[in-house]
Amino acid sequence: MFNKELFSEYIKAEILGKNLLLFDKLDSTNTYLLENDFEVGTVAVANNQINGKGRSGRSWFNSDKGLAFSVVLPILEPKYLLPINIIAGFSVIDALKKYVPIKLKWPNDCVINGKKVCGILIDTSFNGSILDKVVLGIGLNIDKVEFPIDIKDKATFLNKWSNVKLQREFILAKILNKLENYINLFINNNFDIVSLWKDYSDNLDKEISIHINGNISKYVEKGINYDGCLIVINDAGKEDLILSGEIGYDFSS
Ligand code: BTN
């Protein structure tokens, strides 16, 4: 079970994680926070997530050997959702890069040695055309686990790569500390996602394939722009912008 006292030793964030809700079993931490009213910064952690959601309508593999949590973020303009997705990825990398060789695959899959170790999903709700809730969910594989057959060659877990045994409480606090710091910088127009991407991407200047609606195209990745879109060079040597889609294979089941 998640140890609140241990978590409080590491948490430095002032808003994120102040209200911490722990569940043994939950459908989905994202859905729970989306469907109930909690203040900004509220975090829900589930030991078991029975109906975890992945990107593009897929499901997220459930395991009590990992960390599944969501956090209510401040409401922001919809155009900032993609940059915030990327910033969430930066926060995970910063929390863990001292321990494992972790990198980002656009927009925010966290990978080690090309295998997915963490997935990130932002869910929103609207009141008419007005965005009225933003929930960020993060799923991390931490300890050794039997992955389902369809993802077993594409997924990995943190403690396979770390010399120190990383604990859920420590990881959650470190991610929230970074995330709060980065969101504040971003809101104050003081965060250069474009240059940070160059350091954190697993694929910069490499050949990548992009999957969009069942079509696969080959490109070379050149970075991101300030909207969070991926800048690529296509087969004809021309620059293109990718606004959605996934790089290479995907790891949700
Ligand atoms: C992806 O497909 O890569 C995104 C996966 C996001 C999974 C996390 S686990 C906690 C939170 N609750 C959910 O239902 N999904 C996210």
pLDDT tens readout for residues 7-41: 999 999 999 999 999 999 999 999 999 999 999 99
| pTM score, whole prediction | 0.95
Considering only CA atoms, which residue is closest to atom 15 of ligand 1? 53
Nearest to 22 by CA among 6, 10, 239: 6
**Average pLDDT of the residues in 58-79:** 95
* Cβ(72)–Cβ(64) below 8 Å: no
Distance 22 CA to ligand 1 centre (A): 17
Mutate which of 29, 36, 53 for ligand 1? The one with the most ligand atoms within 8 Å of its CB, which is 53
Please report the pLDDT score of residue 195 as a whole number. 96
Reading the block at residue 189, the tokens are 């127009």
Mutate which of 49, 62, 135 for ligand 1? The one with the most ligand atoms within 8 Å of its CB, which is 49
Mutate which of 61, 108, 118, 121 for ligand 1? The one with the most ligand atoms within 8 Å of its CB, which is 121
**Average pLDDT of the residues in 195-213:** 93
Reading the block at residue 35, the tokens are 């469907």
CA atoms within 13 A on the CB side of 131: 15
Write down the mean pLDDT value for the chain: 94
Please report the pLDDT score of residue 86 as a whole number. 97
Report pLDDT digits (tens) over 151-195. Answer: 999 999 999 999 999 999 999 999 999 999 999 999 999 999 999
Q: Map tokens 């975890």 to a residue.
A: 52
- Say whether 160 sits in a helix, a strand or coil: helix
How large a percentage of the chain has pLDDT more than 70? 98
- Say whether 203 sits in a helix, a strand or coil: coil
* Cβ(75)–Cβ(136) below 8 Å: no
Residue 251 pLDDT more than 50? no
Residues with CB under 6 A from ligand 1: 28-30, 49, 52-55, 58, 60, 68-70, 109, 119-121, 137-139, 252
Q: Work out whether the CA dihedral 213, 201, 193, 238 comes out positive or negative.
A: negative
With helix as H, strand as E and coil as C, how does 79-137 read? Answer: HHHHHHHHHHHHHHHHHHCCCCCEEEECCCEEEECCEEEEEEEEEEEEECCEEEEEEEE
Please report the pLDDT score of residue 211 as a whole number. 84
Alpha helices in the chain (DSSP H): 4-10, 29-35, 81-96, 168-187, 193-200
| Ligand 1 atom nearest to 30, measured from its CA | 12
**How many whole angstroms separate alpha carbon 208 and alpha carbon 220?**
6
Residue 252 pLDDT more than 50? no
